Chains A and B, each alone.
Chain A
Amino acid sequence: MTDAVPLVDYLVLGDDPHLVTYECTSCGAQFFDHRNACASCGGTTFEKARVAKTGTLRTFTIVNFAMPGVPVPFIAGVVDCDGTSVRGNVINVEPHPDHVKTGMKVRLATYSLGKDGDGVEAIGFGFEPVNAA
């Protein structure tokens, strides 16, 4: 029995947590979701590709109102990880526009979502400012 599961299957846990994509072997397009075929070229073969763990925050928003059950406020953003766009929350920083800027350098960070009834811990990910403590 495993004692930890990732929030999504494109988060690889272990000593060096990182994200992976399905990369199209024909055209190099990258996808995070389970694939039927490539949306760019129609190719049907994919290889797992590692995503850079640091990147630049290309855009963000600070969400104050969300669907029921979603804790607010949180910072949602898109991070350019060496050419791969990644959706994620910006974490370990105060959710206030004074502390979040487009262009800021961020890095992948993981956190616990808690344990289930079997004692299995789910691990999520976000991006934290590189200059954070």
Chain B
Amino acid sequence: MASDDIYILGINMTKFGKHPTLDVLDLASEATLGALSDGGVSIRDIGVIAAGNLSGMGTGLGQDVQKQVGQTGIPVFNVANACATGATALRTVMMALKAGECEIGLAIGAEKLSGAGMLGLAEAPSEDRWVPKGRFGAVAPLDGRIGTAAMPGVFAQVGLEYGHRYGGVSFELFARISAKNHDHSTLNPLAAYTKSMTVEQIMGEPMMAYPNTRAMCSANCDGAAAAVLVTGERLKSMSTEQQKRAVKVAASVLTTDPWEEGCQVLPNINTLTRNAAALAYEQAGVSPEDLDLVELHDCFATAELVHYDNLMLCPEGGAVDFFESGAPTRDGKTPVNVSGGLESKGHPIAATGIANVWEICHHLRGEAGPRQISNAVVGLAHVIGLGSTCGVHILEKSA
């Protein structure tokens, strides 16, 4: 192992779903203690913490976790980048280790979202006088009057825009993508939902924003994930078992939107993902064909389709053919979301960008049980946080 590489030494995710008796700190602490134990280190070995939580603790999750598991006085960075918050925590720890600030760091993401309903900002109701407000001089709330800013509708438009450009999309196609992920989740005991659903059932669910029905939307749930990262130099002095189970972070990339026409009218989740993917493949020295599995940000079924293309798992414009070929199913050429994805495993926002890395690590270590992708060596984890931020991590099995 190279001294200047960074490795995941320990990683853990809690069961995703409803945890009525646990608060966000219980979940974050469980994941943290799990990751430390998995890596064979203690909180006293940690030199930096980056933590994320969006559902509102008010104070910093990082310090609050310290107060549960060990206050050692080290620097803490509380980070926020919408749905890319977990990946941002990982990236922050990566940068600290790369910069030589310390040798071992901890990234945490945790969320309590069960029963949260639709996520978005409620606008203030109109008053009894038309008074222009805000950056558009609006005299009334705009959501519903000038398009939609709510997630199911935003991502529905992303999927149909892809169809407009390349053709071949339909309500049923998106339902079949969702059915694949629900099917995958039946093998994942940590998923919020582990129930297979037929295409007919999915299409018959309540329509949120055409063509996304409820089953095609990411599942709000409670959950946490944490990872312990270590420098290659420090790993050399660790046990054979630790070295064997360590997973190399071959690429760690965050991008935001470059300016493009229309990008402020409808979020363009494509360009920043393509940019992140291109940079990640270059950093890791691998190509999309080398990937044994991919966990991508299927916040909605419509999003999964476009990310086949954005992550270059298929030729440009070829996402529908890629899906139709069976490639992204767990026995296909490039298994996508074998965890069940956000639609079925669940999406506790800040935990997601670490939980998808956990899933990849689990396979690369050969510890994924019945859902193991055999002989997995390289995997990619991707998240998008609207605004936007894209995080891509490429993980490699230790030699």
| CB pair B157 A59 closer than 8 Å | yes
**CB-defined contacts of B157 to chain A, threshold 8 Å:** 59-61, 76-78
Q: Is A102 an interface residue (CB 8 A)?
A: yes
Residues of A within 8 Å of B, CB-based: how many?
51
Q: Is B73 an interface residue (CB 8 A)?
A: no
Q: Is A93 an interface residue (CB 8 A)?
A: no
| CB pair A40 B118 closer than 8 Å | no
Q: Pick the residue among B137, B147, B206 that contacts A78 (CB under 8 A).
A: B147
| CB pair A86 B265 closer than 8 Å | yes
**CB-defined contacts of B158 to chain A, threshold 8 Å:** 59
A103 to B144, CA, bound (A): 22
Label chain B's interface by main secondary structure: loop
Across chains A and B, the number of contacting residue pairs, with CB separation under 8 Å, is 162
Highest count of chain A CB atoms <10 Å: which of B121, B130, B153: B130
**CB-defined contacts of B121 to chain A, threshold 8 Å:** 67
A10 to B134, CA, bound (A): 12
Highest count of chain B CB atoms <10 Å: which of A5, A31, A83: A5
A30 to B214, CA, bound (A): 35
| CB pair A63 B209 closer than 8 Å | yes
| CB pair A62 B129 closer than 8 Å | no
A78 to B262, CA, bound (A): 9
| CB pair B145 A124 closer than 8 Å | yes
A5 to B210, CA, bound (A): 32
By a beta-carbon cutoff of 8 Å, the part of chain B in contact with chain A is 118, 120-123, 125, 128-130, 132, 135-148, 150, 152-153, 156-158, 160-161, 163-164, 171, 206-212, 259, 261-262, 264-266
A-B contact pairs, 25 of them (CB 8 A): A6-B139, A7-B140, A8-B136, A8-B137, A29-B259, A58-B164, A59-B266, A61-B148, A61-B152, A61-B209, A63-B144, A63-B148, A63-B210, A65-B150, A65-B206, A66-B118, A67-B121, A67-B144, A76-B147, A78-B157, A88-B146, A89-B144, A89-B147, A113-B139, A118-B129
10 more CB-based (< 8 A) A-B contacts, given A30-B261, A63-B153: A29-B259, A33-B264, A65-B150, A66-B148, A72-B144, A76-B144, A76-B148, A78-B262, A113-B140, A118-B129
